[in-house]
Structure 1
């Protein structure tokens, strides 16, 4: 039946919309993509688009949430909450979804996926930061964490935008050395 989650027609419609949307994101920034652009590229009508999404930003949010869910479940499955393991899992998922991640994490699209994942490590990392800066108050610790998270996101984004030329393990070692200093 049409409109039922998991229905083949529903899955097909969503897939062609997502594929068209990702192709358009390679050409122009999110704020320049219209519903008409997506429908034309996917060869669907506007009613089909609006039965699943409100606008291109809603479609982007949906894609990001699915990616976060996939990454978080992979991280949780491993059971090891160490920062190194979390980074390994994130990098593995990025490598498994190379083309998609190149689009999602480029400068134009400013996805919040990496930030959400790294913020999930807040409790673990804030304890490490407290050890490094025992005299810091809560506000200072939050600023340190924000600095570390922002830097990590930009390093991962640079690695992706450089076509992942260096091995992910080397990038993880770079990040770990920054966390320890």
Structure 2
């Protein structure tokens, strides 16, 4: 094995080890969220639960909030990723494909979202999602320029983005009697009915 191959092998092993450590730390953090509020989770709690030493923790994170923010950033990245697959004009005509992906994301991680929501104000999670949604719509070239620059469109967009997030957030918080499927179907119907008045001119 050449020196180059040895170096590549060592780097690959180091990467796998680092990825494993990060995963263990994150899994420990999520597990601890079932027992404690976010502000009560300490580095000692995390390394004990993950069966790692403090040095390994500090090799990847500065404090427990960094772990949470990395998880939140991944969620935000997921949202940005699937928004990129849809034109807003197509979404207005048929909201189901995008809403079904939102539904799947919520369903797969519902317990985690319910725990993280205990402290959403401190991390601005819903504000980030709302901003992404507004930016996505307002910059979408399938929306005519004269519509995007209309003050009524801005008002409707704020109402739409805030309302959509609020509905799903209420579900996550356990404040909605309906299932996530019923919410998706109702939201889809309302978007179709409202789009002609508010978005399509």
- Please, what TM-score do these two structures have when normalized by structure 1? 0.71
Shift of 1:64: 0.6
Give yes or no for the alignment of 1:90 onto 2:102.
Answer: yes
Equivalents in 1 of 2:31, 2:175: separation in Å? Answer: 17
Out of 58, 61, 70, the position equivalent to 1:53 is 61
Shift of 1:174: 4.2
Equivalents in 2 of 1:46, 1:97: separation in Å? Answer: 28
Shift of 1:96: 2.6
User: Max radius of gyration: which structure?
Assistant: 2
Out of 20, 30, 33, the position equivalent to 1:25 is 33
* 1:25-174 paired onto structure 2 within 5 Å: 25-77=33-85, 79-81=86-88, 82=91, 84=95, 85-104=97-116, 106-110=117-121, 112-122=124-134, 124=137, 141=155, 145=158, 148-162=160-174, 166-174=178-186
Q: Which runs of 5+ in 1 are unaligned?
A: none
Larger relative contact order, structure 1 or 2 (CA cutoff 8 Å, min sep 6): 2
Shift of 1:165: 6.8
Q: Secondary structure at the match of 1:65?
A: helix
Q: Which runs of 5+ in 2 are unaligned?
A: 1-8
CA RMSD, Structure 1 to Structure 2 (Å): 3.7
How many equivalent pairs are there? Answer: 172
Shift of 1:90: 1.9
